[in-house]
Amino acid sequence: MADSTCYHCGDDCGNHGVRFDDKDFCCNGCKTVYEIFTSNGLATYYEIEAKAGTTPNEIRKKYDFLDNQEIVEQLVEFNEEGVQVISLSIPTIHCSSCIWVLENLNRLHPAITVSQVDFPQKTIRVTYKTEDFSLKALVLLLGSIGYEPYISLEEYNKKDKKVDRSLIYKLGVAGFAFGNVMLFSFPEYFEVQEFWLDQYKVVFRWLMFAFSLPVVFYAGQDYFISAYKGLRSKLLNIDVPIALGVLTLFLRSTIDIVFNLGSGFFDSLTGLVFFLLLGKFFQQRTYAYLSFERDYKSYFPIAITRLKSSGEEENVQIYNVEVGDRILIRSHEIIPVDAILIKGHAEIDYSFVTGESEAVFRESGEKLFAGGKQLGDVLEVEVLKSVSQSYLTQLWGNSIFSKDKVSHFQSLTDSIGKRFTITVLTIATLATVFWLIYLPSMALNVFTSVLIIACPCAIALAAPFTLGNMLRIFGKHKFYLKNANVIERLAKIDTAIFDKTGTLTTNQKDAIVYEGMELTEEETALLKTTLRASNHPLSRSLYDILKSNAIMTLDEFQEHTGKGIEGRAKQHSIKVGSAAYVGKEASPSMTSTAVYVSADEDVKGRFVFKNTYREGIGGIFGELGADMDLGVLSGDNDGERQLLQQILSEKTEMAFNQKPEDKLEYIKGLQRAHTVLMVGDGLNDAGALAQSDVGIAVSENINVFSPACDGILDATKMKLLPKFIKLSKSSVKVIKMSFLLSLCYNVVGLYFAVTGQLQPVIAAILMPLSSISIVVFTTVATNYLGKGLKNIEI
């Protein structure tokens, strides 16, 4: 039994295992889910993918606010005649078993009519009858099988989210027109003087014209808009020569067919727009289920329990909470406002805010800040500030959060675009002037030919395909970027600043040190047995490190929530818990979390939990330090300065006791002379992440929420960070090489254009050829670079 894994979730069963129906389960929660599934004919769940389950969390009263019909009204998509439709986000969806069981929800309750999973978005859309069912019942049902939905304040304020499908439409229009125009123009490519062809030429030409209209005025409209915007703000972006090219192509072709001068360039025109849109489409696909724009709203609950003066409980929307209200904070609820603790023992996990994973203890009369999560029992608090005025939420008032980084960054393509446009216009003018003197009738032909052939299709494709492909390669190695633009910005970084807690240190592994009188073997055994019965995270970690195999039967066990636990066996008793509980004065200078132990009312010592630094941090700093300045910003005191100096290189700058605003200001100061990368994790870094040129959030579990940022990096891949930055730099090199390649095509094309020999068929060959060879080159090059990443990992 010791080495068995849970039939439901695949976790190690350890010594807490439950045996049921000839199968091992790690806990009762998993066993219950198994029972629910098998008794409803859903046992196939385990056949599609073995051990796919998730341990359900205890929910209890958390969703009582769903009894409030006003709130339900806001959440559901459709609500009429006893039928409701709702989309819920379920972060734990991860495999085909999940899809299967969630789409068979009607097996678990007959009121559910349809349920459909969107796997990439990790959402489920459920239709149910409200007769003997409700949203709350649905949420509880999902919770009971380990798929607890995530309902946050963000969802509540969400306006009707319209899916933007315009790019797919445009791509469809352009592709459709491209194919048809190619077919229609084919006969004329060979210029055979065939009677029937000549006869019907006009029909074919006007058909092509008709097909190109929606391409120019619908599919290509973004380029005109962007070029116009660029020109208005006196910027020559890459869209200016593109729009110019498209417009010239269209006008010249129209004139050609109106005056019967030739067949026009409709094939090149539609092909050009199609390829450009394809590039856009390729770059656009990102990670639908990750949100990079989270603010405090996605952490906060929708409603909270308020105590009326008469003592009655009521659920209110948290924006309606006013100063002076008494509210209840239940176990595992987040405190939405700054408040004073009135009743109960607070054990607050501020990891959302500070990244610090160990809970802090507060007694009544002390102040609690918004963003903390209560781990212990129910609290009664008095509201000091409303939601928008609270310490944490005020940070979002900073103007930095409404600034769009992309629009302030001049991409490589745009900076090339400027020089390119000027060069092309110069060549066009010179060639026209030459022909005006030499043979005036050719002048207009040459001028338009130059603009057509120089249309920077290949240049415009180089960046989307290189960066889009790199984005996917990064994604495979668990580095998720908000958009392709971030890679270009990452390549320019010359300073990297790290947050300490949660970023350089890990929340997962604790180093536990014992200080005090040595415990006897019997005491250790008793301690371990006592800890075994407790579910507190600290007890669990402590249990795992204690070396004792003698498990005894306890005569008595008591758990005092928020204080500690007590066990008694064979006339001996042991107490584990906070200093006050065990009977010792807490030392005031304590910087880390400690658990005190007393045997037979005699204080023995304490276990101190220390943060450990992630593996390979020194290596990362060494590697990065070679070509950039490094720094560490920490909200903690400088107790670990010495240790940090040892692990990291000597040059690393360090700042301690930094409040969220201080971090933001620090980054702002650096930006006067540098391009700054900020690596952080908690909400306290949110300001700095937004202010920096590139903000990366390190996350232990990417489905759990990270603050607004440009990229999310899985904590296990932290050591690859220097490689990611190097690859970004290589990507930029690939783009530059593609520019060179496409310039060669342009030179060849310009030869034909300037000498006045540009035939539609040459344009029709040259344009797709240059575009396709750029796509092939960038794809091969980025995949080759990406391979290097894979080798490192092995």
Contact in structure between 750 and 420 (CB atoms under 8 Å): no
Give the integer Cα–Cα distance in Å for 779 and 766.
Answer: 20
Structure tokens at 687: 């300001």
Nearer to other proteins, 96 or 757 (CB): 96
- What lies within 8 Å, CB to CB, of 15 at 6+ separation is 2, 532, 551
Least Cβ distance, residue 165 to other proteins (angstroms): 6
- Residue 216 beta carbon to other proteins: minimum distance, rounded to whole angstroms: 17
Tokens of 239: 């869209």
Round to whole Å and give the CA distance between 168 and 704: 31
- For other proteins, which stretch binds (CB under 8 A), given 145-153, 168-176, 252-260, 611-619? 168-176
Q: Closer to other proteins at the Cβ: 179 or 537? A: 179
Shortest gap between Cβ of 475 and other proteins (angstroms)?
14
Which helix (H) or strand (E) is 436 found in, with range?
Answer: helix 412-438
Identify which of residues 71 and 273 has a Cβ nearer to other proteins in the complex. 273
Residue whose CB is less far from other proteins, 211 or 350 = 211
Interface with other proteins, residue 186, by CB under 8 A: no
Residue of 60, 73, 77, 200 interacting with other proteins (CB under 8 A): 200
Work out whether 165 is an interface residue with other proteins (CB under 8 A): yes
Q: Return the residue of 11, 64, 118, 665 that touches other proteins, per CB under 8 A.
A: 118
Q: Give the nearer residue to other proteins in terms of CB position, either 20 or 319.
A: 20
Q: Confirm or reject binding of residue 207 to other proteins (CB under 8 A).
A: yes
Residues 305 and 71: their CA atoms lie apart, in Å, by 13
Which residues, 46 to 105, sit near other proteins by CB under 8 A?
46-48, 50, 96, 99-100, 103-104
**d(Cα 782, Cα 472) in Å, to the nearest integer?**
10
Q: Does residue 203 bind other proteins (CB under 8 A)? A: yes
Going by their DSSP bridges, the two strands 505-516 and 602-613 should be labelled as antiparallel
Token pair for residue 213? 């209209």
Least distance between other proteins and beta carbon 172 (Å) = 5
Q: Compute how many residues bind other proteins; rule: CB under 8 A.
A: 42
Binding of other proteins by 126 (CB under 8 A): no
Nearer to other proteins, 450 or 702 (CB): 702
Q: Using the rule CB under 8 A, which residue among 20, 133, 150, 176 binds other proteins?
A: 176
Pick from 16, 18, 23, 623 the residue near other proteins by CB under 8 A. 23
Q: Could you tell me what percentage of the chain is helix, strand and coil, using 3-state DSSP and rounding each to the nearest 5?
A: 50, 20, 30
10 makes contact with other proteins (CB under 8 A):
no
**How far does the chain reach from its first CA to its final CA, in angstroms?**
33
Choose, by CB under 8 A, the member of 94, 107, 201, 560 that binds other proteins.
107
Comparison of 169 and 438: residue with beta carbon closer to other proteins: 169
Q: Which of these, 5, 89, 9, lies nearest to 46 by C-alpha position?
A: 9
Q: Is residue 21 part of the contact set for other proteins (CB under 8 A)?
A: yes
Of 55, 59, 172, 605, the one binding other proteins (CB under 8 A) is 172
In whole angstroms, the minimum distance from the beta carbon of 196 to other proteins comes to 6
Among 57, 169, 535, 657, binds other proteins (CB under 8 A): 169
- With respect to other proteins, which residue has the nearer C-beta, 32 or 658? 32
CA 204 to chain centre: 50
Residues from 257 through 316 that contact other proteins (CB under 8 A): none
514 lies in the binding site for other proteins (CB under 8 A)? no
202 makes contact with other proteins (CB under 8 A) = no
From 166-174, 305-313, 438-446, 599-607, give the range in contact with other proteins by CB under 8 A. Answer: 166-174
* Radius of gyration of the CA atoms of the chain, in A: 33
Give me the half-sphere count of Cα atoms (radius 13 Å) on the Cβ side of residue 679: 30
Of 100 and 401, CB closest to other proteins: 100
H helices of 145-238, in order, are: 153-157, 166-189, 195-214, 221-232
CA distances from 726 to 491, 591, 612 (A): 7, 37, 27
Residues within window 28-47 making contact with other proteins, judged by CB under 8 A: 38, 41-44, 46-47
Burial category of 63 from C-beta neighbours within 10 Å (exposed 0-12, middle 13-18, buried 19 and up): buried
Task: Report DSSP letters for 689-735, one per residue.
Answer: HHHSSEEEEEESSTTS---S-SEEEEGGGGGGHHHHHHHHHHHHHHH
* Residue 91 Rama label (left phi>0; alpha psi -120 to 50; beta): alpha
Contacts of 678 (CB under 8 A, 6+ apart): 496, 497, 499, 667, 685, 688, 689, 691, 692, 694, 695, 696
Query: Which H or E element spans position 742?
Result: helix 721-754
10/605 with CB nearer other proteins: 10
Q: How far apart are CA 782 and CA 794, in angstroms?
A: 19
Contacting positions for other proteins (CB under 8 A)? 4-5, 7, 21-23, 38, 41-44, 46-48, 50, 96, 99-100, 103-104, 107, 116-121, 163, 165, 168-169, 172-173, 176, 179-180, 183, 196, 199-200, 203, 207
